Structure formats: C-alpha cells, structure tokens
Copies of this chain bind each other. A is one copy, B any other.
Amino acid sequence: MYELGVVYRNIRRADSDLALKLGAFGSATVHEALGRVGLFKPYLRPIYPGAQVSGSAVTVLLQPGDNWMLHVAAEEIRDGDIVVAAVTADCTDGYFGDLLATSFKARGARAFVIDAGVRDVKTVTGMRFPVWSRAISCKGTVKATLGSVNIPVVCAGAYVTPGDVIVADDDGLVCVPRAMAAATLEAAGKRAANESEKRAKLASGVLGLDMYKMREPLAAAGLRYIE
C-alpha cells in the first residue's frame, strides 16, 4: 500500500561493492542465485542493447501522465543509484527524456527503470545512459500531482524497497533485497564457477545429457527412444 506525498531521505543503501559485483553476474545468474524470485516482468525492455548495470534502488511512485516526482527524486540520487519508477495506473506516456537523463546522470545515477514510457531515446542512447521501460512514446507528461519518493513500490510486478539492489541487462531485471545481497552474491559465484569449463566441454561436442548426468533420471522418468 502506497503512502502519498512523502519523500524518505535517509534510506539504507545496499553495500556499494556488493551491488557492483552482483551486476557483473548478470540478471539471469542473479535470479537463479536468489532462489528464482524478484523478477521484473519481461515487458520491460532496454532502450538500447548491451547495457549491464547494477545499483541501489531509489524508488519513485508516479501518477498517470505526471512526472513531477522524478524531479523530486533527482535530489535523492547518490552515486551508484538506480532510479526505479512505478505508476499508480497503466500508462505508456513518455515520462523521461534527455533533460532528466542529463540530470540523473549528473547526480550519479547508473540507470533508470520505469513501468511506463520514455522519450528522446535517440539522444539518451547517444548519452549511453541505460533505461528500461515498457514503452517509448513522444507523449509527454504534466507536473501537477504528488506521488512519493523512497517508499516501497511495485514496478512491473516486482516489489522494490528503497536500497534494494537492482541488476539489469539485456535479459531483464531482478531486485535483490538489501539483506540478501551478500548471500546472493555468494550463491551467484558458485553458480558461475564452472561455467567456462562447461562451455568448453559443450563447444567440443560433449552433450549436456552426459555432462549433467541426465540419462538416468530421464530414463527413470520414463523417456522412451524410438529408433
């Protein structure tokens, strides 16, 4: 449930080093490491391919067609933050363009995530400021109604508390609760450990069936081969 018209200034951020290291594993590995939860719905897409970032969430709750609170949020950004914006109703308007991108970047933001639309994508792409959104729209917004900054929000189906770690790349986004960042990083490390070895084996033609020892459980499950 949302509290409207408030800005929480002193949020506890995730450890900056943990946040960075989680990002290096990418969203897919982190999602597994976290126990397959914390997913943003896959309709959020990056405005350009190739970005891979992570950081502490500064959250924003917006009203439909109104981006006033993004300006309020700018002041709350610290180095390494990712701004995560939810809207109280489905909306595809372009809440965020090159001026806000310039401001967010200057304040130290690493990325912007919004469950709505953005615009000026050519310019923002040229700035290499990473953005994930549900739509791209030239339709702008007004500045008339209060929302909130740094309250827990639901963004694209993910529940995000300020200070949680956001991991984002071409595959999508995951929210890692601050308290679980260290354990998740360890689990991610274990998952990734033998990946290059596995990749080499598979590249040489070894089958996953043998490498993962799947033949027995498949047979036990009743798989029949018909020659």
Contact = CB atoms under 8 A, between A and B. Distances in A.
B92 A89 contact: yes
Interface string A61-93: 001110010011011000000000000111111
A6 B38 CA distance: 17
Given A152-B159, A226-B9, A199 B98 contact: yes
Given A1-B177, A154-B154, A8 B74 contact: no
A109 B4 CA distance: 32
Interface residues of A, number: 105
Given A122-B170, A209-B74, A38 B99 contact: no
Q: Which of A6, A64, A175, A212 has the most CB of B within 10 A?
A: A64
Closest 4 CB pairs of A and B: A27-B138, A138-B171, A42-B137, A103-B202
Interface of A: 1-2, 4-10, 26-28, 30-32, 34-39, 41-42, 45, 48-50, 52, 63-65, 68, 71-72, 74-75, 88-94, 97-100, 102-103, 105-107, 117, 119-122, 125, 135-140, 143-146, 152, 154, 157-159, 161, 164, 169-177, 180, 195, 198-199, 202-205, 207-209, 212, 214, 218, 221-227
